[in-house]
Structure 1
Amino acid sequence: MFFRLLAMVIIFFCMMPLAVGAEEDPPLEIRPQLPENQNPDTSGYFDLTMEPGETQEISFVVTNNLEEDILLVMESGNAYSHPTGGILYVPDLISENSILLEDAVQLAEDITIEEDISIPAESSEEITVQLEAPEVEGMTFLGAVHFTAQVEEEEEEGEEDQGEAGVELETITTYSVAVQLNLPYEQPYNFSLGEAGFLPQTQMVFIEMTNDVHRIQGAVTGTYEVSDDQGNELFQGEFPEFGMAPKSEIRYQIPWESEQVEPGEYTLTMEGTAAEEAFSAEETFTIEDDAAEEAEENMPEPEAEDDDGLPIWIWISLGILLILLTFWLGRKFGNKSK
């Protein structure tokens, strides 16, 4: 009887779910209203087939789930390639590690946004945005519409404002919806590799990657190896498949995996495929004394090991098991003494 009870208790606590808070609606919901010229295989963002110079209105249903009014701030943005792979949608990006080429079409300029609007508590509004397809012989153009929800928050009284409380806006959430325009042109891929180098601030080796066509560059993947000036391999690895935004360039970044960063000349060897087209590169780069010193200073501290990694339900089960075992042993020896 005792062992049957013990087994039932252990099974109960092993199956006991961890406490999870009730799911809440997000403060802001945005639903794109997909038009007839939407790609039927795409949902969640606009993927439209248009003619050069054509204009079109697209709309969103925006729902405020809060119990207070919000101010919805909207702006258009471009698509960039992320330095570690993938496509990044931001209103503006100033970085040497990710740029748009000089002849790139910046779709943000062809997206006309309405003025900021106020959405009452627990209500929905339909918002319209106008697109204009570029008059360029390109295949694909990417951009986005960015939404920022703000609420009013009272400032605390202070001496500087002579005790008068003011009101400021607090951002509670941001949301982006991608916009892809497809024009009736066919263009071949144009992917290339450039120079290699080293970024001491983040301890990253990089190589320049360029997508020089108005088309999404898909399926870039391959292997890399870094060796010293004597030809000794320091580290190697694979990079997962990723895509690049049209007419974009990045410094594709690879973590430095050797124990130390020392001054000297190094070689980055890379082989792979871009949309099933093979590529290879062997580029040398130099780490100067000051760059090596800066990299060593910026090396992250090793993480301390976590000693309390057991889930709480295991500790509870062990505690109950110990109590039952103590109770059983006490009864057993108590009966023997009688």
Structure 2
Amino acid sequence: MKKASYLLVIVLCSFYLLAGWDSAVQADAAKADETEIGYHIYAILPENQKNPDSSFFDLQMKPGQKQTIEVAVANTSVEDQTYTIEINPAYTNDQGFIDYSEKKETEEKQRELTIDHIATYEKKITVPKGQTEKVPITLTMPEEAYKGELLAGIKVSKVKKQTNQVGIANTYSYLLGLRLTESDQKIQRKIGVKKIEPTIAFGKASVAIDLINPVREAYGHLTYHVEIKNEETGKKINEKTYSGLQLAPVSTYHFSIDWDDEQLVAGNYQLVLTIEDKKDNQWTFHRNFAISPDAAKQVNTVVVQENRFPYQALLIGIVGLIIGAISIFCITKWKNKRRTRRKL
């Protein structure tokens, strides 16, 4: 079976709240083994770079503007290498952080503002050994002005050649941040709740809340406080606080509330969710939701099966070892008897 293992080297992967502004991108350069990876990338910053001290693209654009930016790919290995290039829009991953490592759909309603409609570029490049090549990326902004920011990650990957018979290939990737704005006008932050449903998250029974950020602004340093009660008895069932989370612009976060290794119980519940940021914004949601018997059973069954210790497989293995040991003992004893008879 062909397998693929991935080493993702995050150069600029998150948009954090720092020094009083959380819409900007923090350069979080992760050190990697250059000998093993054999290449690195960097941004060739243009004149309209907002902060020339940053190592990612943070560009102030105009409606209808067309501009070509360049990413340098330096091949430091002793062989010619081919690299793939893709630009992924920012999304909120299941851990609650802004991510760019995959190509995922966002909640963007005006489709002309997605990075796929704005950026054109070659999807593959070959760089000779010891050389550096520039990858041009042409940005064409829509004619209609927009507020906020457009966030994406430029992902450059090298697929290593297969070196063994089982077909294991390692893909080494770098991510470089891309932020496009047209003005510094502030946007009123909003958060909405789409649905609440039982689910399985990280191998545990959970209740998931789909939260949506409908505006083009990245949120950081978010704190979530959750309280869930039984609707009939008023008994508190679950209470959690999560800190340091993020929301990507115009994205949905599948926010999962851990049930503390307990099974879900069918019934009617009341949810109170409070979300706060570092800009004195607060959102409080009161929602009633139900867990049906079928949904609870389905989640609980899967969780038990996934977490169940494989006693049956272990027993079969032990019995197999015993039978094998007995067989080897009997065969060895039989051979020894034959040798003894031959000597006589």
TM-score, normalised to structure 1's length? 0.70
Query: Which of 148, 155, 163 is 1:139 aligned to?
Result: 148
From 294, 297, 301, give the equivalent of 2:301.
Answer: 297
- Cα contact 1:212–1:248 (8 A) shared by 2: yes
Distance 1:238 1:117, change over 3 A: same
Describe the shift of the 1:190–1:23 C-alpha distance in structure 2 as closer, same or farther (beyond 3 A).
closer
Q: State the structure with more CA Rg.
A: 1
Contact 2:198/2:296, CA 8 A, preserved across alignment: no
Which of 284, 290, 297 is 1:286 aligned to?
290
The runs of 5 or more residues in structure 1 that have no matched partner are: 1-21, 158-167, 304-338
The equivalent position to 2:159 in structure 1, one of 143, 150, 159, is 150
Aligned to 1:322: none
Match of 1:326 in 2: none
Deviations 1:203-222 (A, max 9, x none): 23222322222222344323
Paired position in structure 2 for 1:194: 193
The reply to whether residue 121 of structure 1 matches residue 132 of structure 2 is: no
Task: Write the letter of the residue equivalent to 1:147.
Answer: V
1:218-248 deviation line (CA, Å, top 9, x unaligned): 4432311122232111221212133322222
**C-alpha displacement of 1:90:** 4.3
Distance 1:142 1:24, change over 3 A: closer
**Closer, same or farther: CA 23–151 of 1 in aligned 2, 3 Å:** closer
**Whole-Å separation in 1 of the counterparts to 2:282 and 2:134:** 47
2:227 maps to which residue? 225
Residues 1:27 and 1:199: Cα distance change in structure 2 (over 3 Å)? farther
1:195 to partner: Cα distance? 4.3
Q: What residue identity is the alignment partner of 2:214?
A: D
Residue 65 (structure 1) shift: 3.0
Please tell me the residue identity of whatever aligns with 1:248. S
Q: Which amino acid aligns with 1:46?
A: F
Change (3 A) 1:185 1:133: farther
Distance 1:257 1:151, change over 3 A: closer
Match of residue 80, structure 1, among 64, 73, 91? 91
Choose from 114, 119, 140 the match for 1:111. Answer: 119
> Distance in 1 between the 2:191 and 2:150 partners?
20
Measured in 2, the distance between the counterparts of 1:263 and 1:57 equals 56
Q: 1:24 to 1:149 in 2, by over 3 A?
A: closer
With over 3 angstroms needed to count, the CA separation of the structure-2 counterparts of 1:42 and 1:292, relative to structure 1, is farther
Alignment-derived partner of residue 252 in structure 1: 255
Whole-Å Cα distance in 2 between the matches of residues 292 and 42 of structure 1? Answer: 52
Distance 1:199 1:113, change over 3 A: farther
Question: What is the deviation of 1:48?
Answer: 0.9
In the alignment, which residue of structure 1 is the partner of 2:21?
none
Counterpart for residue 273 of structure 2: 270
The CA distance in 1 between the partners of 2:240 and 2:169, in whole Å, is 44
Q: How far does the alpha carbon of each residue in 1:166-217 deviate from its partner, in whole angstroms, 9 at most, with x for none? A: xx99453122212100112524224123244233332232223222222223
Tell me, what secondary structure is at the counterpart of 2:242?
strand
- For the 8 Å contact 1:228–1:265, the answer to whether it is kept is yes
How far residue 253 of structure 1 moved from its aligned partner, in angstroms, is: 2.1
SS in 2 for 1:75: strand
Pair 187,55 (structure 1): closer, same or farther in 2 beyond 3 Å: same
The alignment's C-alpha RMSD in Å is 2.9
| 1:214 partnered with 2:216 | yes
Change (3 A) 1:32 1:289: same
Q: Between Structure 1 and Structure 2, how many residues are aligned?
A: 268
TM-score between both structures, scaled by the size of structure 2: 0.69
* 1:187–1:213 CA contact under 8 A, matched in 2: no
* 1:270-313 Cα distance to aligned partner (Å, 9 max, x none): 1232442221112122112222122222335389xxxxxxxxxx
C-alpha spacing 1:211/1:107, structure 2 compared with 1 (3 Å): same
Q: Deviations over 1:71-93 (max 9, x none)?
A: 11112221112243221214522
Corresponding position of 1:179 = 178
Q: Is the 8 A contact 1:196 1:268 kept in 2?
A: no
Gaps of 5+ in 2: 1-31, 310-344
Find the counterpart in structure 2 of residue 324 from structure 1: none
